[in-house]
């Protein structure tokens, strides 16, 4: 039984699953939208929203205590695979959502993929 077990396995080993989530989240912030399967989008959506919230709090804390801002950037860097994407997250994306309490992403259904009929979605950051 899978009682109280968080996350989806996505038919991958642990290392492959972690790499997949890291790469998809990084690409979401890099391009601000990605086209992927619904299961993968649902798996990374929560992580992406938490990273935006982390960046928002890091920016707010940076004004009072610069060490807290550095700590937030290091936590984000540990979860993303590109330093420039972390910079974009803190400098462009987080300030855009400072007044928004949550719900930073949108999932639009695109239909089934040809070949295996996997349900495809467009996961994008909400324009504010």
d(CA 11, CA 8): 9
Q: What is the pLDDT of residues 44-60, one digit of tens each?
A: 999 999 999 999 999 99
Which pTM does this prediction carry?
Answer: 0.92
| Percent of the chain predicted with pLDDT > 90 | 88
Core vs surface per residue 22-43: b (16+ CB within 10 A) or e: bebbbbbbbebebebeeebbeb
The answer to whether the CB of 72 falls within 8 A of the CB of 58 is: yes
- For each of the domains in the chain, give its residue range(s) and CATH number, in order of start: 14-125 (3.90.1030.10)
Q: What is the mean pLDDT of the chain?
A: 95
């Amino acid at each position: 039984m899978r009682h109280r077990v968080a996350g989806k396995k996505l038919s991958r080993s642990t290392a492959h699953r972690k790499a997949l989530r890291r790469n998809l989240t990084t690409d979401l912030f890099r391009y601000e939208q990605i086209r992927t399967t619904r299961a993968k989008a649902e798996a990374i959506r929560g992580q992406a929203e938490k990273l935006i919230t982390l960046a928002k709090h890091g920016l707010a804390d940076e004004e009072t205590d610069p060490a807290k801002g550095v700590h937030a950037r290091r936590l984000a860097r540990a979860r993303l695979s590109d330093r420039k994407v972390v910079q974009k997250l803190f400098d462009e994306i987080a300030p855009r959502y400072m007044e928004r309490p949550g719900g930073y992403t949108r999932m639009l259904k695109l239909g089934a993929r040809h070949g295996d009929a996997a349900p495809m979605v467009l996961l994008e950051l909400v324009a504010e």
